[in-house]
Amino acid sequence: MSRRYGDFLRGFKTFRAQPERYLVVDEHRILVLVRNSGQGRTSGLEFGQRSVANLFEIEDGLVTRLVIYWDRNRALANLGLSE
């Protein structure tokens, strides 16, 4: 996973992922609403703030699964949550 994320990040001159809100789904899952921004390495273009949602599944204090939702509303709907 870290190798693929590293490949993704190499496409950016700058990249920032800033947590906006933490939602406890249940005792093993936390949904983190995140705002991403950055600047393309080759184009130099800045991309606007993009809201995503990261679902962390936790067991014995360790993240055992990460689900990235590019559509925050879909994540909320799938998990039966509201913002």
Sorted by where each starts, the structural domains of the chain and their CATH numbers stand as 2-78 (3.10.450.50)
In tens digits, the chain (83 residues) has pLDDT values of 788 888 888 889 999 989 999 999 999 999 999 998 999 999 999 987 768 999 999 999 999 999 999 999 999 999 999 87
Nearest alpha-carbon partner for 15 in 55, 47, 43: 47
Alpha-carbon gap, residue 65 to 72, rounded angstroms: 18
- Global pTM value: 0.80
Nearest alpha-carbon partner for 31 in 68, 71, 5: 68
> Are the CB atoms for 36 and 52 separated by under 8 Å?
yes
